[in-house]
Structure 1
């Protein structure tokens, strides 16, 4: 006999995520309809800031990883 708990939790998860996605898409659609007069430059600047922040976070994470690996005595040579 199959355990019913995972089935109920998976169904609940899909329902909650589906409802959340519906309202998120609806909200963004409504915001796009009323915010058409905004400048596109502002959106591009924000996207560029997010991209730069993401790249900086990746670089910092890589450096921290290599420093921690060296402190733990791991061999991190590329050759």
Structure 2
């Protein structure tokens, strides 16, 4: 599996470094465990957001633009709309 770099601020890096040291593990393992635990603890909120986003998609380019730009149909129309691919 390829590693994907992440960036954290200096204070967070310091916390990760201390946690890894005192837990006798790697910084990578601390971050991996923390992210997995965070996602598990927020799974319901993440699922609600994903389902809400899917509910807004209607299979059109305009629907995708509205979701990504957080625009209402009227706001998108006011901006000129979206030409749908044919």
TM (normalized to structure 1)?
A: 0.31
Question: Higher relative contact order at CA 8 Å, sep ≥6: structure 1 or structure 2?
Answer: 2
Q: Which protein has the larger Cα radius of gyration, Structure 1 or Structure 2?
A: 1
